[in-house]
Amino acid sequence: MFLRRESLREYIRLYPVISIIIVINLVMFGVLELSGGSTQVETLYRFGAMFGGGAIEPEFWRFVASMFLHIGFMHLLMNSFSLYVFAAPLERMLGMWKFAVLYLASGITGNIFSYFLHHDLYIGAGASGGIYGVYGAYLFLSLFRKDVLDADSSKTITIILIIGIVYSIIVPNVDLYAHLGGFVERIFVHGDSKYDYQKKSETLWCVTSKGSCTIIQGEPQSCGSFCMQFE
């Protein structure tokens, strides 16, 4: 189910929403890099990253825009890989419009959770809220729609979720709230959902006022009072 054997042309035809999301992510990453750098606070803020913990409240459009921004290449690569491999079957099951609503609703809910549960000053970006919404939908299917999701795929999703939860907890300052928000939104929505499924063939970087980070052996270290949150 999660093995991608399609050509690029076939993939775009079968999964148009995911293809568009990945393209937007890539384009916005390029824009960030050309505009000062995807790890720079000022650049992220200017292009729509979420923020909280201060006296100023974020504009509503940031709850959507931040889903398409990524902090560094590895952040982009990991989220794009998850979308490319794991979200594709769900788009085929739901159809493009229902999947688009699912993804956006989960991402927005993840940002809402992150905003209200963070008490420190932070700036955040990433697609993980939407991605964990996809995982939440799969968990619902594995529990209540066994006719749609086969046993091997259910085991794969369970393993991914366990790894994701452990990673979110033990790795310092990964945005657990955004992950939790996207995941919980899908579980509760599906509990009273009329979705028609059809079976078809963070790491935290503490940044100085100038936007630079101190990194020791590849791991971000505390270096200031303003924090950048990976989702």
**C-beta separation of 61 from 48 below 8 A:** yes
Beta strands in the chain (DSSP E): 50-52, 122-125, 204-207, 214-216, 219-221, 226-230
Active site residues: 128, 179
Closest CA to 178 of 130, 129, 137: 129
Strands 219-221 and 214-216: antiparallel
Amino acid code (one letter) for 93: M
Amino acid code (one letter) for 17: V
Which structure tokens are listed for 25? 């992510």
CA geometry: angle 151, 87, 71, nearest 5 deg: 130
Beta-sheet strand order (sheet of 204-207): 50-52, 122-125, 226-230, 204-207
Q: Indicate the SS3 state at residue 117.
A: helix
The Cβ of residue 4 has, within 10 Å, a number of other Cβ atoms equal to 12
